[in-house]
Amino acid sequence: MIPRIGPQVAWQIVDGEAIVVDLASGNTIGLNPSGTFLWSQIDGKHDDRDLVSALITHFEVPPAEAESDTREFLGEMTRRALIVPVVADTETKP
């Protein structure tokens, strides 16, 4: 999956940690350092495997741990609709 930040989201970094606002509910959450790092990598171009690789490189964590953390993070953010998958343009041109 290639994630991008959802359309109903505002965010900013405070003291190295991401503050994410869900505009639909008005709720605000703060992300931990690894969550903040992953959030900053979400650009609608890189997929989940890219995020795992980036996490391994940045935090020097074992691949299995990075994969688990990334999966958990993306799952939680998707559940909250803070990220959405990039939909590929599959329309066939005439």
Partner 1 sequence: MSSQRSKLRALQLAQPLTVQLELTYACNWRCVFCYNPRHFDRTRLSGDEWIAVLDELRALGTLTIALTGGEPLAHPEFFRIAEAARERAFALRIFTNASLIDDEAADRIAALPPLAVEVSIHGATPSVHDAATARPGSFDAALSGIRKLLARNVPVLMKTPITSMNEHQIDDIVALAEELDVPLQIDPHITPRDDGSTEPLQYAASRDAVRRVIALGLGSGSIPSTERTKGGANCGIGRLTLAIDAEGNVFPCMQWRVRPIGNVRESALRSMWHASEVRREVAAMSVAVNEALLAAGGANATYPFCPALAMQETGDPFVPDDAFRARAEIAAELRQ
Amino acid at 8: Q
Residue 81 contacts partner 1 per CB under 8 A: no
Which residue among 15, 60, 89, 91 contacts partner 1 (CB under 8 A)?
Answer: 15
Which residue among 1, 3, 4, 19 contacts partner 1 (CB under 8 A)?
Answer: 19
E strands, the chain, in order: 3-5, 9-14, 17-22, 28-30, 83-85
Residue 38 contacts partner 1 per CB under 8 A: no
CA proximity to 37, closest of 9, 20, 24, 18: 18
CA proximity to 17, closest of 2, 3, 38: 38
Provide the greatest CA pair distance for the chain: 51
Residue 75 contacts partner 1 per CB under 8 A: no
Nearer to partner 1, 2 or 19 (CB): 19
Residue 62 contacts partner 1 per CB under 8 A: no
* Piece in contact with partner 1 (CB under 8 A), picked from 22-30, 47-55, 64-72, 82-90: 22-30
